[in-house]
Amino acid sequence: MPTITKLSQLDLKGSYSYADYLTWHLNETVELIKGNVQLMSPAPNVKHQRISWRFSGRLFNYFENKTCSAFAAPFDVRLYNRNQSLLANREITTVVQPDICVICDPDKLDEQGCNGAPDWIIEILSKGNSKKEVKTKHALYAESGVKEYWLVFPYEQVINQFVLNGQTDQYQLTNSYAGDDIAVPYIFPDLAIDLEALFKE
């Protein structure tokens, strides 16, 4: 089997597994969504990276000496239905790279990244993000059991907070933060994110 070094060598309508993904040596950054190759947006701009850096710093300080760990992209997260047990690489067909994720179960971490649903995912939207992409990730994170999901809108300076309803297995929009609000994760109620500090130029 030839080594995959170019996107053109892949069948973008084909179906692949995480085992395939591990063998690719591409210049482009891709994700796998239920077996389908998805190109990621171009490199994030300064605004996006500044917000990511501020989140990372705040979370590093908060989680230091705690069981939970925070990771920023690029970081592979393998997802599958929450009702499935640990899967082999060839059985996993979804690999995503959230902007920031928090994992509280150390058994989900290995040399490749996270195997299973993080507890909290933060996605910082770029201008290249499509509504379809946002909708796909929203459904995917709920299906895999991500407890809390934040969508960050850098240009609007808004954060939408979604919390997974354990009975319906669907996300509920719990809060929409803006202006000088203090955003508080549902699953970490003693953590405060100052929006003015987060979004300042």
Distance CA 72, CA 55 (A): 9
Domains observed in the chain:
7-39 (no CATH), 46-199 (3.90.1570.10)
Beta strands in the chain (DSSP E): 30-33, 36-39, 69-72, 76-78, 95-96, 100-103, 109-110, 113-115, 120-124, 148-153, 158-165, 170-178, 182-183, 193-194
pTM: predicted TM-score of the whole model, two decimal places: 0.94
Mean residue pLDDT across the chain: 92
Q: For 130-154, give the DSSP string.
A: -HHHHHHHHHHHHHHT-SEEEEEET
pLDDT interval class at 89 (50, 70, 90): confident
In the structure encoding, which two tokens stand for residue 11, read together? 């069948």
State pLDDT tens for residues 44-85. 789 999 999 999 999 999 999 999 999 999 999 999 987 776
Distance CA 146, CA 138 (A): 10
pLDDT interval class at 94 (50, 70, 90): very high
pLDDT of 85: 65
In the structure encoding, which two tokens stand for residue 181, read together? 């609000």
Place of tokens 């130029």: 201
State pLDDT tens for residues 128-184. 776 767 899 999 999 999 999 999 999 999 999 999 998 999 999 999 999 999 999
pLDDT of 40: 84
Say yes or no to pLDDT of 43 above 80. Answer: no
pLDDT of 102: 98
pLDDT of 1: 59
pLDDT interval class at 2 (50, 70, 90): confident
pLDDT of 149: 98
The answer to whether 38 and 58 are in contact (CB under 8 A) is no
pLDDT of 143: 94
The burial class, CB within 10 Å (0-12 / 13-18 / 19+), for 4 is: middle
pLDDT interval class at 106 (50, 70, 90): very high
